[in-house]
Amino acid sequence: MGILLNNFQSQMKELTDSELSAFVALDNRPELLFSSNLTRLSNELLSSNSTLIRLTQKLGFTGFTEFRTEIKKLIEQTSYSSQPDLLERYQFFFNDILPQINPDKLEYFADKIYSSNNVFIIGLGLTKPIAEYMSKYLYQLDRASIYVYENHMLDLLPNLLHRGDLVIFISESGETKSLLSCASKAAQSSATLLSITNSQHNTLNHTTHMSLTSRMPENHYHNYDVTSRVFQTAIIDLVLDIYLNKYLKTPAD
């Protein structure tokens, strides 16, 4: 969620189409507020001075100047990068985080993938490609799975679950509302629920039977979580490597 959406979402219903268009454009590129005056900003957003002034007033400000000052403060409060060097983050993960991951948990995930009747892998947003990666990897290992990435399918999934099924939720924060709603409903079934997240203590992990976490420091830009998802992918690779070596390879291999 962008910085404007995060702080002014309740006022959006009061905006006209042209004001909403400018609002969304600014939410995507709030830095434009500081590189342009009102007229140049209007041209950049394909809007008008009067539209932007009405927008700022509907958001609760006396005018454009006060709006720009407040957004600058919000950006200074929410824009940070705890570990700006990606190489350092890789080193931190492999030297500090990976040795602490319980190998019994990795094996439990692999065992459940092997023994379950049906495997559903769920990922939304930036974790959608990770869910797809895991599902397609399993297909290459002759293990059918279904990856779910649309909200309306999440609503239907709990009704399809039976004893012996497995659902793996992949989420960076573990707090996505649609995932939590699905997990809460799925918990009423007899299926096994697992999660792979970055945050160790989150609602999703507390809803599932077992979780694996990458526990990397978060990186944010304008209120968006831009933490690399590669570390969750590394955990998935570890699980699937155990699955491959334990259940598919023979001594002759």
pLDDT at 242: 97
pLDDT value for 84? 56
% of residues, the chain, pLDDT over 90: 57
pLDDT higher for 13 or 180?
Answer: 180
Specify the pLDDT at position 237. 97
> H-type helices in the chain, by residue range?
3-8, 17-28, 32-35, 38-44, 49-58, 64-78, 86-92, 103-115, 128-140, 151-156, 177-186, 203-207, 230-243
Q: Three-state SS for 63?
A: coil
Average model confidence (pLDDT) across the chain: 88
Average pLDDT over residues 93-114: 94
In this predicted model, what pLDDT tens digit does every residue of 176-191 receive, in sequence order?
889 999 999 999 999 9
**CA-CA distance, 184 to 45, in Å (whole number)?**
41
Pairing between β-strand 210-213 and β-strand 166-171 as defined by DSSP bridges: unpaired
Q: In this predicted model, which residue has the larger pLDDT, 28 or 179?
A: 179
Q: What is the pLDDT of residue 70?
A: 87
Binned at pLDDT 50, 70 and 90, residue 250 comes out as low
Which residue has tokens 């006060």? Answer: 66
Looking at residue 51, its pLDDT comes to: 93
Per-residue pLDDT tens for 207-238? 999 999 998 877 766 666 778 889 999 999 99
What average pLDDT score do residues 154-180 get?
93
pTM of this prediction?
Answer: 0.71
Average pLDDT (136-142) is: 96
- Are 149 and 122 in contact, with CB atoms under 8 Å apart? yes
Mean pLDDT throughout 240-247? Answer: 96
Tell me the two tokens of residue 129: 């490609």
